[in-house]
Amino acid sequence: MSETSIDIEVDQHLDAKGLNCPLPVLKAKLILNRMQAGEILYVEATDPHATIDFEAYCARSGHQIIRLLESDEVVEIYISRAADPKKV
């Protein structure tokens, strides 16, 4: 496990910078499928639609966004893996 600058322990990290929709969500989905319930995935994305895409995906699947930070260039998303995610 590693710690990010805001002291959330993360279990997996996805660098999706430079990838456009739908790749950041698809890559995150693959990682989340291999994770255990409650583990944290940290995603960095530059796609301008990343916030909307991840919010929609998590709402449908049951995963929980525990923190979302947006800057001019990078969106940082911390996702807690659901115990029993819905198939999306």
Residue 88 lies in a domain: no
Q: Is residue 17 part of a domain?
A: yes
Strands 40-45 and 75-80: what pairing?
Answer: antiparallel
Q: What is the pLDDT of residues 23-42, one digit of tens each?
A: 999 999 999 999 999 999 99
Neighbours of 26 (CB within 10 A): 13
- Domain of residue 74, CATH code: 3.30.110.40
Domain hosting 19: range is 2-80
Per-residue pLDDT of 65-79, as tens digits, reads 999 999 989 999 999
In a domain, 16, yes or no: yes
Task: Please confirm whether the linkage preceding 22 is cis (ω < 30° from 0).
Answer: yes
Name the catalytic one among 8, 21, 65, 82: 21
In a domain, 53, yes or no: yes
**φ and ψ at residue 39, rounded to 5 degrees:** -70, 155
On whether residue 28 sits in a domain, the answer given is yes
The structural domain count of the chain equals: 1
Tell me if residue 58 is catalytic. Answer: no
Q: Is residue 86 part of a domain?
A: no
Identify whether the C-beta of residue 53 lies closer than 8 Å to the C-beta of residue 21.
yes
